[in-house]
Amino acid sequence: MTTPRKIPFKSYSPKQAMLLPPSLDEMVPSNHPVRIVDRVIDQIDIHPLISTYKGGGSSGYHPRMLLKVLV
């Protein structure tokens, strides 16, 4: 097995507190379906997808975040 190379993605911290609103968790109801999507995609192995990235240039958005946006 080869060692995965380090690809620079833009920072992706979905649990990060924000100034306004204080937290995205406060904006999304606890029973909203988007929370299921979030948990399911967090459990998916996306290493095959990440391994297709060539790297170089400026940092891109994290594939896991983009997948959540698409779903």
Q: With pLDDT > 70 as the criterion, what percentage of the chain qualifies?
A: 86
Per-residue pLDDT tens for 54-67? 877 888 888 999 99
Radius of gyration for the alpha carbons in the chain, expressed in angstroms and rounded: 15
CA distance 31 to 4: 36
What global pTM score does this model have?
A: 0.62
Say whether pLDDT at 32 is over 90. yes
Residue among 5, 31, 27, 33 at smallest CA distance from 14:
27
Q: Do residues 63 and 42 make contact, with C-beta atoms less than 8 angstroms apart?
A: no
Say whether pLDDT at 35 is over 90. yes
Tokens 């993605």, located at residue: 9
